[in-house]
Structure 1
């Protein structure tokens, strides 16, 4: 049975799901109809963060141009440039057993590609969600539906996974940024 989460809510992921070591993080969205003339291309990314809450190098950043980190510990399944259709628009697979001990947190984000050039923002996006699926059983464990409170933001931190002792927990974040991918990269310590 899947759990629906609200902004800020935390949940024990591996403790409440014994034996869970590999998950699929599915991200999805719909585009509101508007007269902008341009296609929307939303991109999911993962930032692998060290104890200080920062990524140390490009190797800690998984996105459409760097599809994996740490020998497949985090794997992006590829860029969906249209977001059309039902279900997940992009997926990131996380194998907790392969995450190095130096990584304490994994931030999952979505940005709008070329948002400023196309005059696009998350106010034009609806029904955005992140869901966590057990990779082995394909059962949805939890889902966080992002509210539609964003008007000028071009990047959103959907959620974070964080290490607590030997367990991994999930936190629904829902924090928006203006400045797209560049703002997120700076926020997480990269250039």
Structure 2
């Protein structure tokens, strides 16, 4: 199956022209690149297809694979509380350094509300029955994160990005400086 034919179904709902699909396919074809059809049934062969750069389908686009762990309720509360406490402390520190109108952070009983003025409000909260942390982002919408004990990361099962990756990316744009919400964190 050609890459152009493979890409067409992904973008048909967005009304991208055939010429645009061909140019994307042409941009993606280069030596030493991994070309995988996003419509493939094999989970291990699927690549995250976000068209934000011209160098699509590179080997670096393949992300780490995470697995949700079954934790005891005490383990879940320990790791989720430690994670949210660390994010709270990190953002409080950044909030003191950066003058962002409308910045406020509240954290109580497993629910963290991060108000960023005109940039919107983030909400992080624990979900003990599911052993998850839920995020509501004004930029990327709602996400549910599971914990991988091997990699010590909260990850989103649909595309394997981690909670800290998403928060770092979005909050760095808001604060105008590099943000690492898990800097120095040891679970």
Bigger radius of gyration: 2
Same fold (TM over 0.5): no
Whose helix proportion is higher, 1 or 2? Answer: 2
Whose strand proportion is higher, 1 or 2? Answer: 1
- The alignment's TM-score, normalised by the length of structure 2, stands at 0.32
Larger RCO (CA under 8 A, 6+ residues apart) = 1
